[in-house]
Amino acid sequence: MSELHLEIDDAVAVLRIDNPSKLNALTIPMLKALEDHCDVIERDPAIRAVILTAEGNRAFCAGADINAWSDLTAGEFARHWIRDGHRIFDRLARLSKPTIAAIAGHAFGGGLELASSCDIRVMAPEATLALPEAAVGVVPGWSGTQRLARLMPEPVLKEMAIFGRRISAERALAIGFVAEVAEDVNACAHDMAARVKPVSPRSVEITKFMIHGAVGEDRAAMIEALGGGSIAASEDKAEGVAAFRAKRKPSFSGT
């Protein structure tokens, strides 16, 4: 059984990392579970918001479990570990539902990259952020130099990734990486999720797609998703499908 669980309650999906004995470090089964859970969330129209949280308050996620990747060959590391992690984190980032990371403890390496895949983040006052990969002879591999470069000022990211500096919750708030610093991050995240429930889910989805298109988060797919959604609601689409099924020439009205 994976140590990453999905709970759904009152239109809010909660993804819960449950590996506190290892500071919620990510393993291969946990990554696969995250991907599977994202598929469930995406296809459930009753879900209006998603919260990503973790057991305990020592670590939101200390990154990837070193035992999961330390013995991989260079080819396996690049071909599978890095690319699979990217694909799965991208799946989370590109959900049509709004996502909130509740960071009650430290978020390091892959844990920080995981949090950055959510739309917004709330953070406990004592938590810190770090990219410690260089200290063990590797580099950020799950968007730490890519997605994070869009979310943080370049000098701050270099402080973390090159100079090994930890960033406090106060500073993360000041640079806009987190939306709020709160003692109870889960309550804060649920309050934010509650604001989404009464508004139009379609408006939320399209707004998220438009913003992603603007900042380069899967821009090509976002443009085609918006175009596809628009044409799918047209009379021309209905006429084209009807004509195909009836084996006749379509008569398009342009509406």
The three-point CA angle 83-85-89 to 5° equals: 120
Tell me the sheet residues that pair with 8: 13
CA distance 130 to 237: 49
CA distance 131 to 140: 7
Alpha carbon dihedral 99, 114, 141, 162, in 10-degree steps, equals 110
113 carries an active-site annotation: yes
Question: 215-230 burial, b for 16+ CB within 10 Å, e for fewer?
Answer: eebeeeebeebeeeee
Residues 49, 197: contact at Cβ < 8 Å?
yes
| Catalytic residue of the set 113, 154, 170, 239 | 113
Residues 243, 225: contact at Cβ < 8 Å?
no
| Catalytic residue of the set 133, 159, 183, 235 | 133
Residues noted as catalytic: 113, 133
